[in-house]
Structure 1
Amino acid sequence: MRPTASSKFLPWLAPRAALLPMALVALVGYVGAACWTLWISMTGSRTFPSGSFIGLAQYQRLFDNERWMLSLHNLAVYGVLFVAACVVIGFLLAVFIDQDVRGEGALRTIFLYPYAMSFVATGLVWQWLLTPGDGIDGAIRALGFPGFRLDWIVSQDMAIVAVVLATVWQASGLVMALVLAGLRGIDPEIWKAARLDGIPAWRVYLQIVVPMLWPSFATVLLLLATSVAKLYDAVVAMTQGGPGIASEVPAKFIMDHLFLRSNVGLASAGAVVLLVPVLALLAPYAYARSRKAAA
């Protein structure tokens, strides 16, 4: 029996029909919302959205705002420290587990478990750990070191570093899991050849293994950079942007102006500015994936 036109068409149609609801949600909920935010950012909206078009005036007000500029500076400092620490610690943990250590399954679970926690829970735990007189500070003083003081969370200069410490503790396990998957895909013959040639292990990792893990590191950097851009929960839970505005970040600035200061237009302008680096990171990644799929 020869296949009919409908029997050929249905296998092509069925998966696309199943994906249609998700595609509509993405178009309306993400693309539509982004376009609406872009429009509102070019209006004089205050408590409620309005249609009074004012061009790029909100963006000029945004970059004239000292609090916004400080939040960008804090985000840059946070991003550099957070990404660097997560990559280094995650890579070292992955190398350690890749040595066929005992209890590998338990260690993977322990290292990855913090990532299962919400940033709010992580922030509250580390807020207690870093509060002067409690947590780490109180424990070390109780051990007989009354002069010890760990006051990063209430320090103008160190508050953002305290946030880095908490979020690195949470995210390093994810980096470990992704890098470990890449390590397990490396041909064992490479290690055998390196041992026969007497090449030190650190040189093999640095000159051979790390370049081979570039796809894994690209995924890691994309995920971590996205986490940096949307940093909000941990800051609110740990410092509320303080002391003062010392640990202010763009997402908190946006939320404060959207809900507390009734300035929808300025908050929308901040959201658009925050979206630009995310798109700049996603576009090359999506292009590389599409080229790879086409090849």
Structure 2
Amino acid sequence: MAHTADADFKTRLQNLLPKLVLSPSLAMVLVFVYGFIIFSVYLSFTDSRLLPSFGWVGWENYSKLWRLSHWEISLRNMGVFAALYISICTVLGLGLAIFLDQKIRAEGMIRTIYLYPMALSFIVTGTAWKWFLDPGIGLENVLQTWGWESFRFDWIKNRDYAIYTVVLAAVWQTSGFVMAMFLAGLRGIDNEILKAAQMDGASNWNLYRRIIIPQLRPAFLSAFVILSHLAIKTFDLVIALTGGGPGRATELPATFMYSYTFSRNQMGIGAASATIMLMTIAAIMIPYLYAELREKK
């Protein structure tokens, strides 16, 4: 009996120990992530300015937000940035994955080179590209020094083209990660299906168009969700690269939220913009998670 009781106690302890170890981390996540999210949503319905306030104003902050021209500019910039960023990363990542899938030499080294930018922070990427694109010390200056005096590349100083420099830096950092996702999808395709198609006389073009690429649908969906999430919350890259300028040419919703919360002392409006960003991300993530869970069932 004593032996049975000891065994039961050890079993209960083994089952309880992982919960005890994980409970502090879980509690911190609940408080400092989800708790602060709920608090931010609450602040969006208050008259908070420099400091949090509990004066309820309902939807007034949201009404003010949608009347601000700065918010409209940030949304337009987000539309341009997100469309180019997602499409270019997807096409470039797929192309690089197909290239590496040809069993080329030094694949491991090339794959590491492609993935290396993702190991850098967006602050480092933004700072490096800021130096590279600066007309005074970057690419334009170097080529003019070498003799191409008519060469001009001042996009980072040009209101009409500055947003595209943010796209360039973001694509450079993320396309290798997208490549890894597509490469994993390509390596997971059944070779027997490909061999059967080749025996039936399918060309490489038809092989990719009719068989391989359609089977990469989960990879396409995952890439879209991740890239959309990154595009919506892009902040540090813009701050390091352009600071939101020139003027407001590269201001995005995340930089708008920061400036209105901490620079203009309009915490209620800043919280309202953050809540809209959260709802946008949720509108992308929830259908994706629902589809994934339904597919597993």
How high is the TM-score relative to the length of structure 1? 0.93
The residue that corresponds to 1:35 in the other structure is 38
Aligned with 1:21 (options 8, 20, 24): 24
Distance in 1 between the 2:136 and 2:84 partners? Answer: 26
Distance in 2 between the 1:7 and 1:285 partners? Answer: 41
Alignment of 1:252 onto 2:255: yes
Aligned with 1:108 (options 108, 111, 116): 111
Deviation string 1:8-51 (CA, Å, 9 cap, x unpaired) is: 65565444444433332232122211111111111111111111
What's the offset of the Cα at 1:220?
1.4
Aligned with 1:79 (options 71, 79, 82): 82
Deviation string 1:81-113 (CA, Å, 9 cap, x unpaired) is: 000000111111111111111101100110000
Pairing 1:37-52 to 2, within 5 Å after superposition: 37-52=40-55
The residue that corresponds to 2:233 in the other structure is 230
Deviation string 1:208-234 (CA, Å, 9 cap, x unpaired) is: 112211222222111111110111111
User: What is the identity, as a one-letter code, of the residue corresponding to 1:163?
Assistant: V
Distance in 2 between the 1:207 and 1:123 partners? Answer: 39
The residue that corresponds to 1:269 in the other structure is 272
Deviation string 1:170-198 (CA, Å, 9 cap, x unpaired) is: 10000011111111111112222222222
Distance in 1 between the 2:290 and 2:156 partners? Answer: 41
Deviation string 1:101-154 (CA, Å, 9 cap, x unpaired) is: 110110011000011111111111111111224322123223332111111111
Distance in 2 between the 1:196 and 1:284 partners? Answer: 39
Distance in 2 between the 1:143 and 1:207 partners? Answer: 48
Pairing 1:119-268 to 2, within 5 Å after superposition: 119-268=122-271
Distance in 1 between the 2:223 and 2:36 partners? Answer: 27
Distance in 2 between the 1:206 and 1:2 partners? Answer: 63
Distance in 1 between the 2:117 and 2:206 partners? Answer: 31
Alignment of 1:89 onto 2:96: no
Distance in 2 between the 1:209 and 1:29 partners? Answer: 43
Higher mean displacement: 213-222 or 223-232: 213-222
The residue that corresponds to 1:62 in the other structure is 65
What's the offset of the Cα at 1:169?
0.5
Distance in 1 between the 2:277 and 2:200 partners? Answer: 50
What's the offset of the Cα at 1:6?
5.3
Length, aligned pairs only: 294
Tell me, which stretches of 5 or more residues in structure 1 are unaligned?
A: none
Distance in 2 between the 1:286 and 1:9 partners? Answer: 33
What's the offset of the Cα at 1:164?
0.1
Distance in 2 between the 1:200 and 1:20 partners? Answer: 56
- SS of match in other structure, 1:213: helix
User: What is the identity, as a one-letter code, of the residue corresponding to 1:203?
Assistant: N
Distance in 1 between the 2:287 and 2:102 partners? Answer: 34
Tell me, which stretches of 5 or more residues in structure 2 are unaligned?
A: none
Change (3 A) 1:17 1:207: farther
Distance in 2 between the 1:23 and 1:288 partners? Answer: 26
